[in-house]
A and B are shown apart, each in its own frame.
Chain A
Amino acid sequence: ATQKPDRMAWVSHLTAIRDDKDQKAFAEVFGHFAPRVKAFLMKSGASPDLAEEVAQEVMATLWRKAHMFDPTKASVSTWVFTIARNRRIDILRKQRRPEPEDLPWGPEAEPDQEDVLALQQESEQLGVALAALPEKQRDLIVKAYYGDLTHSEIAEQTGLPLGTIKSRIRLALERLRHQLK
């Protein structure tokens, strides 16, 4: 049961949800992500009941907004994280979250498979790099994402290995920009 489908498989699941309203694909996505979203929210301070309720909302949003998912910009994990984070800000912090202006291009119906593969591999490598960090450093990053560090506390952490966990996603973005011109 711990056999993890790779990121490209999640991307095709999202396509199946978008194009065919495929409930079987959705069940698999739910089975993997809902328990992680729930855990993420509980660690961020939500009660188990609230966390489960919000996890359901997050997964429903994934279904509804499947057409907004762009595999040249994010892996499914990243996308689910941003949905969960936004709900957390909404519900736990009762704050509005200003989002950057959209890029002048939206998700294409059929994105270039090479771009998709490159971005998905980058995301995978970043996950591997994070897992390979010494425990102390990884803990700090994890704490920051669970809301246990303020931005000034993050700034004080000189030991944060931000360089090593950064990927080449910016190159992927530059390539996209370039192709558009």
Chain B
Amino acid sequence: MNEIKHHLTDALLMAYSAGTLPEGFNLVVATHISMCDECRARMMEFDTVGGAVMDAETPANVSDESFAATLELIAKDDTALHEPVAETPARNGLFPSPLQDYVGGDLDAVKWRRVGGGVRQAILKTDKSASVRLLHIPAGVAVPDHGHRGTELTLVLQGAFRDESDRFATGDIEVATDELDHQPVAEEGMDCICLAATDAPLRFNSWIPKIAQPFLRI
């Protein structure tokens, strides 16, 4: 894999570690970390901060029966102890395992829908706090010019795209906020496949996508 140049922000990693991100963002973060050792190590740091926060907490009173109740809980469900440690399957295909969980398989399991201009998308089911979709953008094709009301995370799974801010290749993540208006264009040579999540509807700068917006659920 080529070297990843665009990583998760500290704020996203910290919120992922704290467990306070929308589910759709968690999926993009977990997928990027699956592809990126650097962000995995940073995530481990933020988990360590979480451990330190919990450790520094003034202990609450736990009732006298609590320990016995826990032993009962263990005795009740001791079967898990005898389960073999799950072997991590070697990753096959394009999608890291968290994404495969949501798709129900790899690239060939995606149920694409055309959204115009040759672009296809597949919306993945998560809770409503953010929407998350796979995008398939043919080589050389542009996604409609748009701005953002909230945060948009775009992770490249295959190929590359360019926009006003930079070039994003496989493994790179773009974190766009309301300050950025952009028109991502897939590079020539290879179709670009991205995982994108937003916590607020996009602002389109031309009238056709505006009309299509309710149908595209962007």
A residues near B (Cβ < 8 Å) are: 23, 27, 30-31, 34-40, 42-43, 48, 51-52, 55-57, 59-60, 63-65, 67-68, 73-75, 77-82, 84-86, 88-89, 93-104, 106, 122-123, 126-127, 130-131, 141-142, 144-147, 149-152, 154-155, 160, 162, 165-167, 169-170, 173-174, 177
B20 with A144: CB separation less than 8 A: yes
Most chain A beta carbons < 10 A, residue from B44, B56, B96: B44
B188 contacts chain A at the CB level, 8 A cutoff: no
B71 to chain A, nearest CB (A): 7
A17 to chain B, nearest CB (A): 10
A82–B20 CA distance with the chains assembled, in angstroms = 13
Provide the residues of chain B in CB contact with A165, threshold 8 Å. Answer: 49
A60–B177 CA distance with the chains assembled, in angstroms = 41
Which range contains the number of B residues in contact with the other chain?
35 or more
B66 with A36: CB separation less than 8 A: no
Provide the residues of chain B in CB contact with A40, threshold 8 Å. Answer: 53-54, 57
B211 contacts chain A at the CB level, 8 A cutoff: no
Given A51-B60, A98-B102, A144-B15: 9 more A-B contacts, CB < 8 Å: A30-B70, A38-B62, A39-B57, A40-B53, A57-B73, A75-B48, A98-B26, A102-B97, A106-B85
* One of B34-42, B113-121, B156-164 at the interface: B34-42
Provide the residues of chain A in CB contact with B30, threshold 8 Å. Answer: 98-100
B57 with A36: CB separation less than 8 A: yes
A164 to chain B, nearest CB (A): 11
B53 with A34: CB separation less than 8 A: no
Provide the residues of chain B in CB contact with A122, threshold 8 Å. Answer: 48
B-side binding surface: helix, strand, loop or mixed?
A: helix
Provide the residues of chain B in CB contact with A173, threshold 8 Å. Answer: 37, 40-41, 44
Q: Give the contacting residue for A36; candidates B37, B59, B97; CB below 8 A.
A: B59
Provide the residues of chain A in CB contact with B55, threshold 8 Å. Answer: 36, 77, 127
A-side binding surface: helix, strand, loop or mixed?
A: helix
Provide the residues of chain B in CB contact with A150, threshold 8 Å. Answer: 15, 20
Nearest 10 CB-CB pairings of A with B: A170-B41, A35-B59, A78-B51, A151-B15, A155-B11, A77-B51, A101-B34, A100-B33, A127-B52, A98-B98
